[in-house]
Amino acid sequence: MNGYLTVKNLSVSLPNGVRILRNVSLDVAAGQVHGLVGESGAGKSMIGKAVLGTLPHKIEITGGEIWMDGVDLLKLTPKERRKKIGAIAALIPQDPLTALNPSKRIGPQITSRLVEILGWSQQNATARAIELLEQVHIPDPARVMRSYPHELSGGMRQRILIASAFAAEPKLIIADEPTTALDVTVQKQILKLIAHMQARHGTALLFVTHDLGVVSKVCDTLSVLYAGKIIENANMRRFFTRPIHPYSRALLAATPTYTNPDSLLTSVSDEIVEGLANEIHYHDIRNTL
Amino acid sequence: MRDARGDMRRPLGLRLWLSGGWLALLVLGAVFAPVFAPQDPLAQDLFASRLPPFWVEGSEAGYPLGSDSLGRDVLSRMLYGAQLALIVALVAGTLTCLIGATLGLIAGYYRGWPDLIISRFIEIWMAFPPVLFAILLIAVLGTGLSSIIIAIVVIDWTRFARVIRAEAMGESAMDYVASAQVSGRPRFSTMLKEILPNVVPTIVVLLTLEMGIAVIVEAILSFVNLSISTDSPTWGSMISEGRTSVHQAWWVLIFPLFALFLTVLSFSQLGEGLKDRFDPVLR
């Protein structure tokens, strides 16, 4: 394991001692896209939050290592950690409706970070913001920068968040279900846009989603998460041709197809779920990458 | 869309005009009290006692709103009373707001031990009956303008702290705060630059509400003779004196009471009206 972001045996617990992430390990190589899939409540978003240091109040990291750019973040003081993360990582959040400050105009929301934290001149920051808004295909960026978030559509806001995430040329971006809050037609555009921006800027991307279809389009490698445990780490081609874990196989089988419209929707069977429960509690899960 | 929004705002505009108008009138009256007041507010004239207001038979020029049982001019006393009421409203309201909102913001954003301490204090404070607490405080501090202001601040900061704490907690859970944190913005700066602008509309409403409450508290304390001094003209003491002679001279009670009512109402309505001006979504 020598990726740009390496998570080793990470555990995260609730205040009552329940572990919501159990010995999670994964690896995101520089310039690559790593998908993180799992059901609702599996702990996908928690991994992203743990890495970026934005875990909710009272939820704490109770073990493991998070290596980013060759440094173990958990060995740093909170202040140093925030600085380190701020310098190299960025977030594309899940819900574009709450991810922009409603009382500030768009322009300052993109540029204030560059100016106040990274020490750019206001002129350079504004020019950079306009350049990035153009890259995410926003018409009339100068006007958009003067708007308040509520004056823009959800798709527009998600584009702005993407532009904002890439603004300071981060080495790592965590996209936390960036398309779930959008409708399907917009989803596709945004997905394309993220993939395009990632390729253009050569950023490592941790892509959190519950949609295997999305993963197959944008990712190089992926991890499957179930109940806070990594079930399978794999590269894309191997995963879609020969999934190893029965749960992965069941997930793939449950993906609806267009080619056979008469086929019924299948779900993950109780047997597999029960098997998973046993496995998670009693066996050590081997990483298969 | 634009038309619908215009429709939505029209009644609020009227509200702002009426409440702002009354308060402006009051400020003018208070500032120029020495010019407008027909009599010295403290001058007694037993030959001119209980004169009725100008439209009632038996009234006298120079006493447009009548006089009380000691022959003091009601209008003059109300104008000088407005001075005291407004000073209390502005100073006590602002101080309460500053202290309460700051503590609430810190508790709601930082959580952890600052929240623990501040919340326990709020709970203890809420257990005291406020009027009794005020009377107790005045008894300890002694009467006077500054004691009244201190008493109001000490009693009422929890009103701000509670509400702003809850608001700050809600805002802290939003993704934009997480984004600010990921971008390396220090915690304190996140609180001031990201969270504070979003709780300002609430602070404005609470502030104007608090100004109204300060006027009431001052009147209550005057009513029980614990205000500035026994002979200074305050609305509360006028109401208290008017109460004893309401059958002979209703005007001594009714005019200051009405002024008090309108002022408190105006403050709260002003807040509602201003809130929309501060909210980018409604603006």
CB-based contact (8 Å) between B276 and chain A? no
> Which amino acid is residue B244, in one-letter code?
T
Q: What is the pLDDT of residue A2?
A: 58
A93/B186 CB distance under 8 A: no
d(CA B280, CA B283): 5
Residue pair A32/A220 in contact (Cβ under 8 Å)? The answer is: yes
User: Which of A103, A109, A146, A173 to mutate: most B Cβ within 10 Å?
Assistant: A103
CB-based contact (8 Å) between B282 and chain A? no
Residues B179-192: pLDDT tens digits?
A: 898 888 888 999 99
Q: What is the DSSP string of A194-258?
A: HHHHHHHHT-EEEEEES-HHHHHHH-SEEEEEETTEEEEEEEHHHHHH---SHHHHHHHHTS--S
Buried/exposed B182-211: b ≥16 CB within 10 Å, e otherwise: bbbbbeeebbebbbbbbbebbbbbbbbbbb
A116/B189 CB distance under 8 A: yes
- Residues of chain A contacting residue B200, judged by C-beta atoms under 8 Å apart: 103
* Chains A–B, number of C-beta pairs less than 8 Å apart: 73
Instruction: Name which of A49, A83, A101 is nearest B176 (Cβ-Cβ).
Output: A101
Q: How long is chain B?
A: 283
A141 within some domain? no
Region B197-202: mean pLDDT is: 91
Question: Domain of A9?
Answer: 5-97+171-288
> Which amino acid is residue B127, in one-letter code?
A
Alpha carbon B156 to its chain's center: 11
B181/A53 CB distance under 8 A: yes
For B255: left if phi > 0, alpha if psi spans -120 to 50, otherwise beta; the answer is: alpha
A90/B175 CB distance under 8 A: no
Judged against a pLDDT cut of 60, whether residue B123 lies above it is answered with yes
A123 within some domain? no
Residue pair A88/B182 in contact (Cβ under 8 Å)? The answer is: no
- Better-scored residue on pLDDT, B9 or B145: B145
Alpha carbon A236 to its chain's center: 17
A82/B184 CB distance under 8 A: yes
Q: What is the pLDDT of residue B167?
A: 95
A273 within some domain? yes
What does the block give as tokens for A165?
A: 């995430």
A158 within some domain? no
A140 within some domain? no
CB-based contact (8 Å) between A103 and chain B? yes
CB-based contact (8 Å) between A171 and chain B? no
Q: Return the DSSP state at B201.
A: H
A104 within some domain? no
Judged against a pLDDT cut of 60, whether residue B33 lies above it is answered with yes
Q: Which of B41, B147, B164, B55 is nearest to B107 (CA)?
A: B164
Q: What is the pLDDT of residue A281?
A: 55
Burial of residue A140, with CB atoms counted within 10 A of its CB: 0-12 exposed, 13-18 middle, 19 or more buried: exposed
B182/A90 CB distance under 8 A: yes
Helices (H), chain B: 2-31, 33-36, 74-87, 93-110, 112-126, 130-141, 145-172, 175-182, 187-190, 196-223, 235-244, 250-278
Instruction: Name which of B179, B185, B189 is nearest A91 (Cβ-Cβ).
Output: B179
Q: Which of A141, A140, A143, A175 is nearest to A161 (CA)?
A: A175
Instruction: pLDDT band for B171, please (50, 70, 90 cuts).
Output: very high
Chain B: residue nearest A54 by CA? B178
> Which amino acid is residue A83, in one-letter code?
K
State the Cα angle at B47 between B42 and B51, rounded to 5°.
80
- Better-scored residue on pLDDT, B223 or A2: B223
Residue with tokens 């389009």: A217
Judged against a pLDDT cut of 80, whether residue B66 lies above it is answered with yes
Region B170-179: mean pLDDT is: 91
Q: What is the pLDDT along chain A (289 residues), one digit of tens a residue?
A: 457 899 999 999 888 878 889 889 999 998 899 999 988 888 888 999 999 988 888 899 999 999 998 899 999 998 899 888 988 899 999 888 889 999 899 999 999 888 988 889 999 999 999 999 999 999 999 999 999 999 999 889 999 999 999 998 899 999 998 888 788 888 888 888 999 999 999 999 999 988 888 888 889 999 999 888 888 888 888 888 888 888 888 888 777 767 777 777 777 777 777 777 666 654 443 433 3
Alpha-carbon distance A240 to nearest alpha carbon in chain B (angstroms): 33
Residues 6+ apart with CB under 8 A from A42: A225, A226, A227, A228
Task: Classify B19 as helix, strand or coil.
Answer: helix
Q: What is the pLDDT of residue A113?
A: 85
Residue pair A137/A194 in contact (Cβ under 8 Å)? The answer is: no
CB-based contact (8 Å) between B225 and chain A? no
For the question of an ipTM over 0.85, the answer is: no
Alpha-carbon distance A22 to nearest alpha carbon in chain B (angstroms): 24
Half-sphere exposure of A179 (CA within 13 A, CB side): 23
User: Which of B110, B183, B198 to mutate: most A Cβ within 10 Å?
Assistant: B183
Residue pair A178/A190 in contact (Cβ under 8 Å)? The answer is: yes
Half-sphere exposure of B222 (CA within 13 A, CB side): 28
Q: What is the pLDDT of residue B3?
A: 41
Domains in chain A: how many in total? 1
B194/A82 CB distance under 8 A: no
Region B264-270: mean pLDDT is: 91
CATH number of the domain bearing residue A37:
3.40.50.300
A47 within some domain? yes
- Residues of chain B contacting residue A103, judged by C-beta atoms under 8 Å apart: 197-198, 200, 280
Instruction: Name which of A54, A79, A109 is nearest B178 (Cβ-Cβ).
Output: A54
Mean pLDDT of chain B: 87
Chain A: residue nearest B169 by CA? A57
B184/A85 CB distance under 8 A: yes
- Residues of chain A contacting residue B280, judged by C-beta atoms under 8 Å apart: 102-103, 148, 150
A152 within some domain? no
The model's pTM is 0.82
Alpha-carbon distance A287 to nearest alpha carbon in chain B (angstroms): 29
